[in-house]
């Protein structure tokens, strides 16, 4: 049993019947990205995030994003120390391996934007001074569906910084039955055990970065992304940041599968979940009920995959 199996098995103690989502989140973590969980309240988004932090032995902090949360709550602030006659920096909640941004789309745009530097540069700047974040660092954010009471759209620049957007969804009937029975028996996510350390997570990420991706496979990923920029139903296609994320996800997928090289199927498996949230449809496509997923599936079908030797 490898590291990946150990982590997945521990998280499954807290989350029942969502093996694919668990695997996708682990893939994004290994790829070095941030995860956005978008779903209705009560399906286990926060439980999922906490379970991963526990299983991987990582420090975590959680902020419930509400309209009154300030940027300084996230990144910290400076306060004058009269005894030392100097300003002292007080760290914010973002200083942890895993930062849980719960219901991120309920906060103001100003507070949401406080995360941008942290997510991209792994650092924060307060009063002209820059402070490095812990390593590894990643954000697991949850958001309610757009249009729910008290929510607003995330800025496009922030959406683009999430490596994947995933949905947990309702459980199957038997899984929901098991959830209810386990809670009635007093079981909870506290049963999740630590099977990794921060040092091991960093090493796993380094190993995944070494996975070989051929020039032909890179060309395939670029071709898929380029097709999103030329599709008649897409107003704004995927940015180069999205292409980099797609390649990183493909390498992490190969790593979890036990391979030291990427195949085109790895790229295809990651394509929709990595780029769908980066796309803006035309008004006509939205009015006609066109699905982003259907468009991306069409792009995969029409783009010729390379045949590797």
Which among 105, 109, 95 has a CA at the least distance from the CA of 139?
95
**Segments making up each domain of the chain, as ranges:** 3-191, 210-302
Could you tell me if 169 and 43 are in contact, meaning their C-beta atoms sit under 8 angstroms apart?
Answer: yes
HSE on the CB side for 197, CA within 13 Å?
2
H or E element, residue 138: strand 138-143
Could you tell me if 51 and 11 are in contact, meaning their C-beta atoms sit under 8 angstroms apart?
Answer: yes
Model-wide pTM > 0.85: yes
For residue 233, the tally of other CB atoms under 10 A from its CB is: 17
Q: What is the model's pLDDT at position 1?
A: 46
| Residue 236 structure tokens | 């704004």
Q: What is the model's pLDDT at position 190?
A: 62
Q: What is the model's pLDDT at position 114?
A: 85
Could you tell me if 269 and 253 are in contact, meaning their C-beta atoms sit under 8 angstroms apart?
Answer: yes
Say whether domain 210-302 belongs to CATH 3.40.50.720: no
Cβ partners under 8 Å of residue 77, min gap 6: 89, 90, 92, 126
User: pLDDT truncated to tens, each residue of the chain (309 aa)?
Assistant: 477 889 999 999 889 889 999 999 999 999 999 999 988 878 888 888 889 999 999 998 999 988 899 999 999 998 888 888 888 899 999 999 999 998 888 888 888 888 889 999 999 999 889 999 989 999 999 887 765 566 677 778 888 999 999 988 888 999 889 888 887 877 665 688 999 999 999 999 999 999 999 999 999 999 999 999 999 999 999 999 999 999 999 999 999 999 999 999 999 999 999 999 999 999 999 999 999 999 999 999 999 999 877
| Residue 114 structure tokens | 């406080």
H or E element, residue 182: helix 173-184
Tell me, letter by letter, the H, E, C secondary structure of the chain.
CCHHHHHHHHHCCCCCCCHHHHHHHHHHHHCCCCEEEECCCCCCHHHHHHHHHHHCCCCEEEEECCCCCCHHHHHEEEEEECCCCEEEEEECCCCCCEEEEECHHHCCHHHHHCCHHHHHHCEEEECCEEEECCCCCEEEEEECCCCCCCCCCCCHHHHCCCCEEECCCCCCHHHHHHHHHHHHCCCCHHHCCCCCCHHHHHHHHHHHHCCECCHHHHHHHHHHHHHHHHCCCEEECCCHHHHHHHHHHHHHHHHHCCCCECCHHHHHHHHHHHHHHHCEECHHHHHCCCCHHHHHHHHHHHCCCCCCC
Say whether domain 3-191 belongs to CATH 3.40.50.300: yes
């Amino acid at each position: 049993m490898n590291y990946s199996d150990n982590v997945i098995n521990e998280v499954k103690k807290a989350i029942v019947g969502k093996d694919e989502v668990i695997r996708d989140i682990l893939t994004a973590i290994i790829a070095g990205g941030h995860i956005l969980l978008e779903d209705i309240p009560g399906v286990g988004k926060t439980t999922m995030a906490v379970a991963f932090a526990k299983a991987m032995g990582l420090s975590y902090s959680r902020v419930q994003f509400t309209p009154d949360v300030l940027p300084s709550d996230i990144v910290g602030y400076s306060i004058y120390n009269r005894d030392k006659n100097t300003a002292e920096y007080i760290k914010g909640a973002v200083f942890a391996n895993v930062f849980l941004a719960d219901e991120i789309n309920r906060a103001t745009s100003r507070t949401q934007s406080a995360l941008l530097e942290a997510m991209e540069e792994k650092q924060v700047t307060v009063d002209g001074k820059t402070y490095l974040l812990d390593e590894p660092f990643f954000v697991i954010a949850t958001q309610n569906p757009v249009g729910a009471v008290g929510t607003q759209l995330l800025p496009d620049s922030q959406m683009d910084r999430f490596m994947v957007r995933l949905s947990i969804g309702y459980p199957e009937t038997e899984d929901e039955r098991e959830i209810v029975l386990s809670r009635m028996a007093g079981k909870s996510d506290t049963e999740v055990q630590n099977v990794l350390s921060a040092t091991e997570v960093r090493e796993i990420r380094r190993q995944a970065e070494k996975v070989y991706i051929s020039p032909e496979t890179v060309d395939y990923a670029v071709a898929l992304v380029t097709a999103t920029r030329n599709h008649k139903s897409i107003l704004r296609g995927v940015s180069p940041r999205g292409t980099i994320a797609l390649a990183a996800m493909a390498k992490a997928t190969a790593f979890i599968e036990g391979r030291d090289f990427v195949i085109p199927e790895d790229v295809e498996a990651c394509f929709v979940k990595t780029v769908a949230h980066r796309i803006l449809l035309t008004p006509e496509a939205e009015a006609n009920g066109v699905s982003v997923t259907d468009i991306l599936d069409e792009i995969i079908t029409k783009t010729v995959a390379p045949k590797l030797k």
